[in-house]
Structures are given as C-alpha cells and as structure tokens.
C-alpha cells in the first residue's frame, strides 16, 4: 500500500495499481511508503485523478449545507463568510489557500476557463468585472456551493443566476 495524502479522517492510497480511500482507523501506517506528500504531487505523478480530489472537496463542502452565514467567520461552530467557507473546506482536504476571495483569486492555483470547470474549482463573482467580492466551490452542472450573505447560510446556487462571474481557479492538480 502506498499512501499519498491524508484528507480529514481519510487516507488516499494506491494498492496493486488501484486507488481509493481508507479511513484512518482502518489503516496502520507503520511501514507504509509515502510517495507524495501533497495533492499536487500525487496528481502530477499520476497516482490520483484530479477529478477525485475535486469530488472530495465537493463532498466536504456539502457536509456544511445550511450552516449560517456570519461575516469574518471560518468554522462550522461559528458560521462562515464566503471565503471562510472555502478556506475551511480546502483546509479540511489538506489544501492551504488564502483567507480572502481577492487573495485566493490573486495568489492561489491556476486560472480555469468557464468551459473547463471541474468539481472543486473555486469560482469568483463580484459586483463588477474588476471587483472580486465572492467565492464559491464549483460542484458541476453550472452550480456552486457557497456561504451566501443574502440567503444567510451555505447554499447551492446556479452560476447563471448569480452576480457577475469573474473567473475560476484550480488549486489542486
């Protein structure tokens, strides 16, 4: 068994050429070879599909549907603002990103075209094309999950019915 990373309570592993997840309680890591320490390395080396990392991010995000919106917060117990939600979800998946929407947009990952969006990509919206003031996590089919100040909680919305779409960033793979 080769362990590539730990995400929350789950290890991403490869055994006999097949990959998957094993709960930390079901795996004794003594003597297990660690081939890649980050999601980026695991994907670049071909051990893990970037789409599976994206789905892991989406699965983590969905756990928090309905958690209240609270400006400047970043935890399920206290609530989330939009960037606090993204920051928390990615951190639970072992990926560090900036804490503000503009900071993520300016500094993290690589730009992704609208037609190339994958589950787990970060999508950025604003009141104008030059003013990033909202971030969410793309889940597929034109939808994203985010902490919405207008809805007062973490919700799923359609990108077509949202503020001005500014762009997207992929911070894995």
82 is catalytic: yes
Residue 136 neighbours by CB distance under 10 Å: 29
**Active-site pick, 23, 64, 93, 134:** 134
Q: Is 93 a catalytic residue?
A: no
Q: Is there a catalytic annotation at residue 146?
A: yes
Instruction: Report whether 119 contacts 58 (CB < 8 A).
Output: yes
Closest CA relative to residue 136, chosen from 96, 82, 173: 82
Active-site residue, from 23, 64, 93, 146: 146
Annotated active-site residue in 23, 64, 82, 93: 82
Long-range own/partner contacts, residues 59-62 (CB < 8 A, 24 or more apart)? 60/7, 60/8, 60/89, 60/92, 60/93, 61/85, 61/89, 61/137, 61/139, 61/145, 61/154, 62/139, 62/145
Active-site positions?
82, 134, 146
């Amino acid at each position: 068994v080769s362990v590539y990373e730990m995400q929350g309570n789950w290890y991403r592993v490869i055994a006999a050429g097949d990959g998957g997840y094993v709960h930390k309680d079901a795996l004794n890591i003594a003597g297990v070879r660690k081939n890649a320490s980050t999601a980026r390395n695991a994907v670049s080396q071909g051990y893990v599909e970037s789409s599976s990392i994206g789905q892991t991010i989406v699965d983590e995000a969905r756990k928090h549907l309905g958690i209240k919106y609270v400006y400047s917060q970043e935890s399920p117990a206290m609530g989330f603002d939009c960037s606090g939600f993204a920051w928390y979800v990615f951190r639970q998946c072992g990926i560090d990103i900036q804490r503000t929407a503009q900071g993520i947009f300016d500094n993290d990952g690589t730009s992704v075209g609208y037609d190339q969006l994958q589950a787990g990509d970060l999508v950025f919206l604003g009141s104008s094309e030059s003013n990033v003031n909202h971030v969410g996590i793309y889940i597929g089919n034109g939808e994203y999950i985010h902490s919405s100040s207008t809805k007062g909680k973490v919700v799923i919305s359609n990108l077509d019915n949202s503020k001005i779409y500014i762009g997207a960033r992929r911070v894995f793979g």
